[in-house]
Structure 1
Amino acid sequence: MNPARETIRLDTEFLHEPNTRLDRLGVSAPVARAVLPDGSPGWFVTGYAEAKALLADPRLRHNSPVPRQDEAGDGGPKLPEGLVSSMITMDPPQHTRLRKLVNKAFTTRTVAALRPRIRQVADELLDAIPVPGQVDLLTAFASPLPITVICELLGVPAEDRADFRRWSLSVTSAFSARTITDAHALLGYLADLVAHKRAHPTGDPLSDLVHVSDGDDQLTGAELTSMAALLLVAGHESTVNLIGNGMLALLKHPDQFEVLRRDPSLIPDAVEEFLRVASPAHITTTRFAAEAIRVGDVEIPAGESVMVSLLGANHDPERFAEPHRLDVTRAAAGHLAFGHGIHHCLGAPLARLEGEIAFRGLLGKFHSVELAEQPRWRDTMMMHGLESLLVQLS
């Protein structure tokens, strides 16, 4: 079949069992027509080479160059502007300006300095898990670890962190009326927090971000609120899914579990393999062709929407042999779990550090970990994560 003529329907079955659908495409249709759950059309990219090229192509932009039917507006509920118009959905030069300012506050040194505190949080969470017994690793460990870290980075009090987790889950899950309510609650809270940091800086990275400048340029209040929301969601959702998805992959490949137990020095490489085989993000934000773009045998017309499957690219057999097989000794570097190009995930170093510490703790703490029930995938287009991960520990 001509790849340009094949249509992929991104429905509930696809979200819950994406590998089954991706296998049907294989290398025969790395760029294919797609229909989103809301019925809107677009192009779906699953090939590694095609995805990497398009993610770095300046002709693929977040702002549509031509009017689209879905922009007419149907009067229905929409996410607030502070979540819709963030750095992740901006094109140069706006994106370039924001990224430059944020990079001044969130440096490699800032992330590296967090290692002792992350290790302390991980140890405390693991010590609180009763053994033997059953536990949901998402609620007991995978979620509170990164939410604690990112909330400390933002200077959020401990008593507010449960609300932050709920708001984050809501705005990254299937759209509903509750999503709108939680999005406004999140942005309102962050706007107040930013105002407080401006008046009373406390030395945390959010305070640094509030006061960072490049010459006479500083982030506005609205930009800071939007950036804080992005850091909250991206700064912990990726790690929750990395830990949950990676642990599920290990439980389904017990031989690889034992390889890591015998040689913990492989854990940093294993984290890269978890990111590849069970990417914490599935589909990128929608982008648009500013002009006609030829990708392999397909030409994407100007103005049409494009979605890139990071999970699909990381499972391309042309790039990774036996892509569905977990191999913690694999050279998985070069995967696209954190995207590629100017929108490469700002929180990637933090997620990697948290993942490494998390798996060292999990493998060192428990003698036996077994899957207690088959988990379900969350109903969300962008993220790729579990609703829960119930395990039996001993």
Structure 2
Amino acid sequence: MPTSTPAQPPLVDPAELVADPYAVYGRLREAGSVHRIAGTDGLPAWLVTGYDDVRQALSDPRLSLDKRHAKPGGYRGLTLPPALDANLLNMDPPDHTRIRRLVTHAFTPRRVTGLREPIRRTAEALLDAMAPLGRADLIAAYAAPLPITVICELLGVAPQDRPDFRSWTDALVAPDPARPDRARDAVRSLLTYFTRLLADKRAAPADDLLSALIAVRDDEDRLSEDELTSLAFLILFAGYENTVHLIGNATQALLRHPGQLAALRADPGLIGGAVEELARYDGPVPLAIRRFPVEDITIGGVTVPAGETVLLSLAAAHRDPRRFTDPDRLDLGRDATGHLALGHGIHYCLGAPLARLETEIALAALLDRFPGLALDVPPDALRWRPSMRSRSLQALPVRF
């Protein structure tokens, strides 16, 4: 029988989840699939940790992404202007279904495949610049500039605008708690820029995703100006941040597992499956986007009241031994099918094929160029960003 909501549910210190997330998630998961914690905004939330419960919840229509279903005062998230807030991460069907259908007409497999050569060229150019140095911060020199260049290429951002574009994005990806104005200024700058860029693309269409999104039609339906602007922002933010961290996390995992690294070097054909296992083992998104029950709902035997914040722990699910054998071991030969790093159900990541392609090319080019690649600091000297929302390194010092 389902249990009722605990009167005084235990809270978990978010700092613990940053310092040693998999140990904390493992302890919570073994104690039960659903727990009350302090959420990403500091307010109480329900954390779901078991693989089966997380996977089912990701596609449960009773769990809404629309912030209007949050109970009053129960959620305090990032505030965006309306023109940036009307995006797929805040929508349920039928609005979500309509916009996603239109986007898929423009963001086609052919468009992603067409980026293969630009991605390869960009990776090689970045490695050329690193090679004479002998050592580098791999995040700053490689993992970050590669995806932002690809996103700019995809959206049709002119080369002369890209330095500003990256500085604005960095202010959002790694906000300075002492300078909250930087993030607010970045949001305003991006809104202004995308408004102008969309006007330019409408006047002079090109072979890029923004031009295709402007032109896309489904019978008489089309994307509104706010929908176009918010989609551009979402593609930039999600496509940049998550790919940076996936490349960084994957590289550090390989460097800390020399046997697995040697196996990949010996058989480069493993790269596709390796990326799936690396995404499972230490992916960039520990928590799926928050959800709000539209009615009282039972998850893992616990009743979660309508309107409360639900956090689905992808990181905990990926280390669930009931789904993955010996889950704390990195095994590039593992069949990691079923991992949730790119979502599940109707909210499965639209950019998943691009993220996979970028990561495969980035890792293959890096390992091919630098056979002696190694950490330039002891593993315990690596520092992770203090965030429950993102699993990401502050820097990745390497030598080669």
TM-score, with length taken from structure 1: 0.93
Aligned to 1:102: 103
Is 1:64–1:303's contact at 8 Å kept on the other side of the alignment?
A: no
Q: Structure 1 vs Structure 2: percent identity of aligned residues? A: 46
**What aligned pairs does 1:182-331 form with structure 2 within 5 A after superposition?**
182-331=186-335
Q: CA deviation at 1:50?
A: 0.5
Matched, 1:125 2:126: yes
What is the match of residue 352 of structure 1?
356
Contact 1:282-1:383 within 8 A present in 2 as well:
yes
- Give distance in 2, aligned partners of 1:53 and 1:210: 35
Q: Tell me which residue corresponds to 1:18.
A: 21
Quick check: 1:7–1:35 contact (8 Å CA) kept in 2? no
Deviation at 1:81, TM superposition (A): 2.7
Point out the more displaced range, 263-272 or 154-163. Answer: 154-163
Go from structure 1 to structure 2 and tell me whether the alpha carbon gap of 1:50 and 1:273 turns closer, same or farther (over 3 Å shift): same
Aligned 1:31-180 pairs, distance under 5 A: 31-36=34-39, 38-63=41-66, 68-70=71-73, 78-131=79-132, 133-173=134-174, 176-180=180-184
Unpaired segments of 5 or more residues in structure 1? none
- The separation in 2 between residues aligned to 1:267 and 1:4, in whole angstroms, is 45
For residues 23 and 57 of structure 2, the distance between their equivalents in structure 1, rounded to whole angstroms, comes to 24
Given that 1:376 and 1:388 are in contact with CA atoms closer than 8 Å, whether structure 2 keeps it comes out as yes
Q: CA deviation at 1:12?
A: 3.0
Name whichever of 281-290 and 344-353 sits farther off.
281-290
CA 1:158–1:375 in 2, change beyond 3 Å: closer, same or farther? farther
Alignment partners' CA distance in 2, 1:367 and 1:131: 15
Asked if the contact 1:260–1:267 (Cα under 8 Å) also holds between the matched residues in 2, the reply is yes
CA distance in 1, matches of 2:215, 2:363: 35
Q: Which amino acid aligns with 2:149?
A: T
Q: What is the rounded CA distance, in whole Å, between the counterparts of 1:30 and 1:67 in structure 2? A: 22
The answer to whether the Cα contact below 8 Å between 1:3 and 1:32 also exists between their aligned partners in 2 is no
State the AA in 2 paired with 1:149.
Answer: V
Gaps of 5+ in 2: none
Deviation at 1:332, TM superposition (A): 0.6
User: Matched residues in 1 for 2:59 and 2:78: separation?
Assistant: 32
User: How many residue pairs end up in the alignment?
Assistant: 390
Letter in 1 for 2:134: G
Cα distance 1:298–1:71, how it changes in 2: closer, same or farther (>3 A)? closer
Given that residues 246 and 278 in structure 1 are in contact (C-alpha distance below 8 angstroms), is that contact kept between their aligned partners in structure 2?
yes
Cα drift, residue 243 of structure 1: 0.8
Q: Secondary structure at the match of 2:336?
A: coil
Q: Kindly tell me: are residues 129 and 64 of structure 1, through their superposed partners in 2, closer, same or farther at Cα, counting changes over 3 Å?
A: closer
SS at match of 1:129: helix
Is residue 377 from structure 1 mapped to residue 384 from structure 2 by the alignment? Answer: yes
In the TM superposition, what is the alpha-carbon distance from 1:79 to its structure 2 partner? 3.0
Give the aligned residue type for 1:380: S
Give how far 1:3 is off: 11
Q: Report deviation, 1:37.
A: 5.1
1:168–1:324: structure 2 CA closer, same or farther, 3 Å change rule? farther
Tell me whether 113-122 or 377-386 shows the greater mean CA deviation. Answer: 377-386
**Change in 2 beyond 3 A, CA 1:37/1:214:** closer
Q: CA deviation at 1:168?
A: 2.3
Aligned to 2:365: 361
SS in structure 1 at match of 2:130: coil
Aligned to 2:345: 341
Q: Deviations over 1:294-332 (max 9, x none)?
A: 222212122221011111211112111222211111101
Distance in 2 between residues matched to 1:359 and 1:79, nearest whole Å: 34
Letter in 1 for 2:17: F
CA distance in structure 1 between the partners assigned to 2:387 and 2:160 by the alignment? 27
Q: Summarize deviations over 1:260-301 as a string: whole Å, max 9, x none.
A: 111111111000011101111121221111112222221212
Alpha-carbon shift at residue 77 of structure 1 (Å): 9.0
TM-score, normalised via structure 2 length: 0.92
